[in-house]
Structure 1
Amino acid sequence: MSENKTTLTDAVHDLLKKAIIEQALTPGMRLPEDTVGEQFGVSRTIVRHAFVRLEHEGLIATRRNRGAFVAEPTRDEAQHVFEVRRCLENDVIRLLCQRMPASGYERLEAHVRQEEAVKGKDGPVSIRLAGEFHMLLAELTGNPVLTRYVSEVVLRCSLIMSLYARSHSSDCAVDEHSQIINAIRTGDASRAINIMEHHLGAVADRAELIARPDSIQSILSHYGKELAS
């Protein structure tokens, strides 16, 4: 694949992922290659490459003779994802209590300030930033394998919450993120893990099917403007 195609594939992949994480593209929504290509101004080949990556990440599913759809995890699958996430994030905390990099607390606190800035103002951005906080924790361990796995389960949890969540409370999320940082700073892994367990448990407890009728054209027209800029 040429460098230009790779760059375009990356851009389309990232924008579609953002639309899924921000719960604009909802589970079960069909993603026609031609519609996606038209909205982003790219070829169907570029769209197909982006779809392959999203499918590997568990964010979309392709069905024979029907095309691509935003993935619809079952409740059992959702439970399994959350179980794995709790295990992984507990290990992230243990590692950070042992080896937080010099700039780690500064980066975490800067991220929390971003979350505070949109609290109560922009639900989709708040949801995305909440997930990115957990990805940043994993990144700071310096373990790229752990970072990749945490990122994948966080993204899948965002998709699960889009399908099942009753509500999203950024107030609780930001407060608990600050508590987690403070507990890691003191080296209190047990306290930090307890806060994380409560935090993730509260997220998993909000389960109820929701649906949105927006068309894919109207959703992607918004994200396509980012590609054009």
Structure 2
Amino acid sequence: MSKKSTRVDFACKALRQAIIEQALPPGTKLPEDELGARFGMSRTLVRAALAHLQSEGLVDAPPRRTATTAKPTLEEAKEVFEVRRTLERAVVRLVIERWRPEFGAELEGHVREEEAARKAGEAPVSIRLAGEFHVKLAEMSGNGLLRRYLGEVVSRCSLILALYGRPHSADCAVNEHREIVTALRGRNADAAIAVMDHHLGAVEHRALLDQGRDAEFDLGAVLSRYAEVVDTSNPPKVAPLPKRKTRAAK
């Protein structure tokens, strides 16, 4: 992998996690100069990162305009959940076909991480772990393309929750995920799909409450924090920026 690709991937990972954990609310402006300075990248590489995130539905980057975190309409949000239900049903069937005892142990370990984050009051971590539970299931399906598509849809759902939903309910997520693991252990595809459908229905209900939010925060501080979270042994150099207040675009 080239040095340029590494920088783009690094920026994508940091921005993606910040969006998924709802640290960058929908509609947040993402100025190229600030992203470039924060991640030590040229404008060309910044645009490449934004284009990649746009392909995942997480960023809107129209030509000759400042990119923003995506702000899907309610109709678009409903379409995302329709696609997600179809993908998750396919995942359940494939995971049951390939089921091994270690799958149950791995999923239970993940649910324990969710429980620990809930008890610690770490809402952003709970949000990320809740989505990663479903991505982990997709990995167990053995279908790489299905894992990729579901991962993108799960990320979009996190964005929708940030835009329309009530604050993340870690209690609900943990309990519903435990029910899914129990259903998968039973190796009954129809029963497991019914449990998954119920869970996704609850997530969709929490997401589509049409309670649009507005948030004021320090963009530079958010970018710095998430650059540190995804830091590697050879991270790109990051230039310090003066703090300034940024309001999510309306």
TM-score category, normalised to shorter length: over 0.9
What letter is aligned with 1:210?
R
Greater Cα offset, 17-26 or 187-196: 187-196
Structure 1 segments unaligned to the other structure (5+ residues): none
TM-score using structure 2 length: 0.86
Structure 1 residues 1-229: aligned runs within 5 Å: 3-101=2-100, 103-120=102-119, 121-206=121-206, 207=209, 208-226=211-229, 227=231
What letter is aligned with 1:61?
D
1:102 to partner: Cα distance: 5.6
Percent identity for Structure 1 against Structure 2: 49
Hey, what's the Cα distance between the residues in 2 that align with 1:101 and 1:147?
18
1:23 to partner: Cα distance: 0.3
What letter is aligned with 1:177?
H
Greater Cα offset, 178-187 or 206-215: 206-215
TM-score using structure 1 length: 0.94
What letter is aligned with 1:188?
N
Greater Cα offset, 84-93 or 16-25: 84-93
1:61–1:187 Cα change, 3 Å: same
1:203 to partner: Cα distance: 1.3
1:7–1:103 Cα change, 3 Å: farther
Greater Cα offset, 41-50 or 60-69: 41-50
Deviations 1:91-110 (A, max 9, x none): 11111121124632222122
The answer for the alignment partner of 2:240 in structure 1 is: none
What letter is aligned with 1:223?
Y
1:85 to partner: Cα distance: 0.4
What letter is aligned with 2:110?
H
Aligned partners of 1:180 and 1:195 also within 8 Å? yes
Deviations 1:180-224 (A, max 9, x none): 111111112222222211211111112221221113223212223
Hey, what's the Cα distance between the residues in 2 that align with 1:152 and 1:224?
21
Aligned partners of 2:51 and 2:61 also within 8 Å? no
Hey, what's the Cα distance between the residues in 1 that align with 2:113 and 2:22?
19
Aligned-partner SS, 2:158 = helix
Aligned-partner SS, 2:61 = strand
Structure 2 segments unaligned to the other structure (5+ residues): 237-250
Aligned partners of 1:101 and 1:140 also within 8 Å? no
Hey, what's the Cα distance between the residues in 1 that align with 2:63 and 2:45?
20
Hey, what's the Cα distance between the residues in 2 that align with 1:43 and 1:222?
20
Aligned-partner SS, 1:104 = helix
Hey, what's the Cα distance between the residues in 2 that align with 1:27 and 1:10?
21
1:52 to partner: Cα distance: 1.4
Count of aligned pairs: 228
Hey, what's the Cα distance between the residues in 2 that align with 1:69 and 1:116?
33
Hey, what's the Cα distance between the residues in 1 that align with 2:49 and 2:109?
31
The answer for the alignment partner of 2:245 in structure 1 is: none
What letter is aligned with 2:61?
T
1:86 to partner: Cα distance: 0.7
What letter is aligned with 2:224?
S
Q: What is the RMSD of the two structures over their aligned residues, measured on CA atoms?
A: 1.6
Aligned-partner SS, 2:216 = coil
Deviations 1:155-183 (A, max 9, x none): 11011111001121111111111111111
What letter is aligned with 1:145?
L
